[in-house]
Structure 1
Amino acid sequence: MDFLTLAKKRCTTRGFMEKEILSKDLEQILSAGRVAPTACNRQPQRIIVVRRRENMVKVEKAYRTFGAPCALIVCRDRRGELIRPYDKKCSGDLDIGIVCDHMMLAARELEIGSVMVGLFDPAVITKEFILPEYLEPTALLFLGYPSKGFLDSERHAEERRQLCETVWYEAYAE
């Protein structure tokens, strides 16, 4: 399928079946994250794959999992970060977002649902998974088969702003 079709099909899944994701499919998803571009190819992502129930319970202490059979704890390795010299902005969060986006699109191509969460308690993840100080839990990515199917891929016609509301050419104008 062409990229725009795939991008339109990707949607947030907030309810999953108990069905496990096949290891080969999970590897395909993780491989998509591996090839994602990162600033100066620093590749700051460190991903903890959580599938065992006792570890999913640990994740649930930081945020609800929507019944997902698999969680990816996507961390940012702060060692050797790329920092923009002009304003000291770190590229790490952008990099993690791109990595997660690649994985979500790969999941959707495999008919696997996903939801990326940033609104979780990173201190809980750090404590429960005994992370070193240089690893910052940045995103949780829940994966699984949707319990209620996927959203209609044509929903963007009404749910998204038109290009003319979000894109300007050559200069910004109100």
Structure 2
Amino acid sequence: MEFSDVINKRYSVRGYLDKEVEKEKLDYVLEAATIAPTGVNNQPFNVYVIDTKKNKDQLSEVYGAEWFVEAPLVLCVTAKKDEAWVRPWDGHNIYEIDATIVMDHIILAATDVGLGTCYIGAFKEDKARELLAIEDENEVPVLFTPLGYGNAEPRDTPRKAIDEFVTYI
């Protein structure tokens, strides 16, 4: 698929088929995470692959939408704050930026191989930590996505015109 096709086909999938994701496709998606750019290439992240059927109840506590647990897999990208690059002039840690770039690579790769996803940032962190058995305070869950074959049409999501958000200086 051409890149322009990938970015135009991607949408937030809110319904999934009961169909397993092939290992080759999962591996392709995970490989995309390894090449995501991060601050000074520290790669301060982990990716958790969660079997939905085995963890349905706990996943439902993390995020309550019914469609969240329809996909066979849910992925979570966590960031390791103590390993992320920190801007020396103001001390800003970019761990969330790094993790978001990783998830974006995952989501675009998934679209490329015909899988559906949906960015989930509105989850309960305490329940996520329980599910993932994260005890280290430096590791932070940043984003989740279901991963599977979509069974829902995209919603109408109007977009701003370029001149509404671009400023030339």
Q: Which residue is 2:12 aligned to?
A: 12
**How many Å separate the matches in 1 of 2:55 and 2:33?**
22
Determine helix, strand or coil for the equivalent of 1:115.
coil
AA matched with 2:82: R
Could you tell me the TM-score, scaled by structure 1's length? 0.87
Worse overlay, 40-49 or 84-93: 84-93
Deviation at 1:46, TM superposition (A): 0.3
Q: Which residue is 1:167 aligned to?
A: 166
**How many Å separate the matches in 2 of 1:21 and 1:14?**
17
**How many Å separate the matches in 1 of 2:52 and 2:140?**
22
Unaligned stretches of 5+ in structure 1? none
Unaligned stretches of 5+ in structure 2? none
Conserved? CA contact 2:85–2:93, under 8 Å = yes
Q: Which residue is 1:80 aligned to?
A: 83
Determine helix, strand or coil for the equivalent of 1:79.
helix
| Count of aligned pairs | 165
Equivalent residue in structure 2 for 1:90, among 87, 90, 93: 93
**How many Å separate the matches in 2 of 1:52 and 1:11?**
21
AA matched with 1:119: A
Q: Which residue is 2:57 aligned to?
A: 57
Conserved? CA contact 2:56–2:69, under 8 Å = no
Could you tell me the TM-score, scaled by structure 2's length? 0.90
Mapped pair 1:40 → 2:40: yes
Determine helix, strand or coil for the equivalent of 1:76.
strand
Q: Which residue is 2:107 aligned to?
A: 104
Task: Quote the RMSD (CA, aligned, Å).
Answer: 1.7
